[in-house]
Amino acid sequence: MHRYVLSCNAGSEDLEPIVLAVHELIHRLPVTAKSVDRDGIRVEDGRVIDRNYNGPILLESIAKNQLIQVTPASGAYKGVPVTVTPIRDKDGNAIGAIGVVDITGIFDLATLMEHQSAILKQVCGKDPCPLDSEQISSRR
List, for residues 25-44, the tens digit of each pLDDT value.
999 999 999 999 999 999 99
Residue 105, pLDDT score: 66
Q: Give the Cα separation of 60 and 57 in Å (integer).
A: 5
Query: What is the C-alpha separation between 91 and 3, in angstroms, rounded?
Result: 23
CATH 3.30.450.40 location in the chain = 12-104
Task: Please choose, from the candidates 45, 58, 140, the residue with its C-alpha nearest in 3D space to the C-alpha of residue 99.
Answer: 58
* pLDDT in the model for residue 101: 92
Average pLDDT over residues 97-106: 85
**Whole-number average pLDDT of the chain:** 86
pLDDT tens, position by position, 1-32 = 788 889 999 999 999 999 999 999 999 999 99
Longest dimension (CA), the chain: 68
Give the pLDDT band of residue 111 (cuts 50, 70, 90): low
In angstroms, the Cα distances linking 134 to 28, 110, 140 are: 43, 20, 10
Residue 124's identity, in one-letter code, is C
| Per-residue pLDDT tens digits for 41-98 | 999 999 999 999 999 999 999 999 999 999 999 999 988 899 999 999 999 999 999 9
CATH level 2 (architecture), domain 12-104: 2-Layer Sandwich (3.30)
